[in-house]
A = this chain, B = another copy of it.
Amino acid sequence: MPITTIGLDADDTLWHNETLFRLTHKRFVELLSDCAEEAALESRLAEVEKRNLRLYGYGAKGFTLSMIETALELTEGKVSTRTISEILAAGRDLLAHPMEPLSGVEDALAALTEQYRLVLITKGDLLHQEQKLAASGLGDHFSAVEIVSEKDADTYRRVFTRHGTGPEEAAMAGNSVRSDILPALEAGAFAALIPYPLVWAHEAAETPNDHPRFAQLETLADLPAWLENVQA
């Protein structure tokens, strides 16, 4: 069966994202270093983020609100307003940061686009994801962009039906086993994991190494050859 459509994750698949979030974490820890140890700060921040996920969803704005909340809670209100201003500024920097494609991504997309319909499928803030795509200069390679609030099997069924010829003739590529791989396989698509050195704690899951439609690749540049191979 021919593959017609490729879904691509954005953050940490096309461009760096987790690295920027980690830098913001670091700045947060430094700002509060007088008030608490790094480990305590990180674990409390993770707790607050998790508690707020249902309300805030994914993205830099919710993350900024959770940083402020953590600072207030952990210091029992003793944090300085100057530090809160600094956290706000860190959040704005995160939103305004220039996007650079990961190495090899541009060539890989140019090669893929000759043979397949490319669909960007990503979670996060609608406006911010659109801004990042525009800033990356990669937008022209995609025939559609779907910014979704959750990536489950239904999402992949719907997107690959709307923009392609159904999930059975589609492949998803991304860096998250939980969001990009498992639900895409469940929907009936092929799925290629392209790990990013850093994985967000909420996203960890086991790799489905034995699945016949799954592969783990080193970079996006390996994707065209793998697609040829599974269709042969």
Instruction: Please give the residue numbers on chain A whose beta carbons come within 8 Å of chain B beta carbons, in ascending order.
Output: 52, 55-58, 61-62, 64-65, 68-69, 72, 75, 77-82, 84-85, 88, 91-92, 95-96, 125-128, 130, 147-149
Contact = CB atoms under 8 A, between A and B. Distances in A.
A65 B61 contact: yes
Q: How many copies does the complex hold?
A: 2
A57 B127 contact: yes
B55 A95 contact: yes
Main secondary structure of the interface of A (DSSP, over half): helix
B68 A77 contact: no
Contacts of A75: 81
Contacts of A69: 85, 88
When A and B form their complex, which 5 residue pairs have the shortest distance between CB atoms, in order from nearest? A57-B127, A77-B81, A61-B61, A127-B149, A126-B126
Contact of A72 (B62, B81, B95, B147): B81
Contacts of A79: 81
A72 B55 contact: no
Nearest to A85: B72
A111 B159 CA distance: 29
Contacts of A65: 61, 64-65, 88, 91
A107 to B, nearest CB: 29
A21 to B, nearest CB: 16
Given A125-B57, A126-B149, A127-B149, A85 B95 contact: no
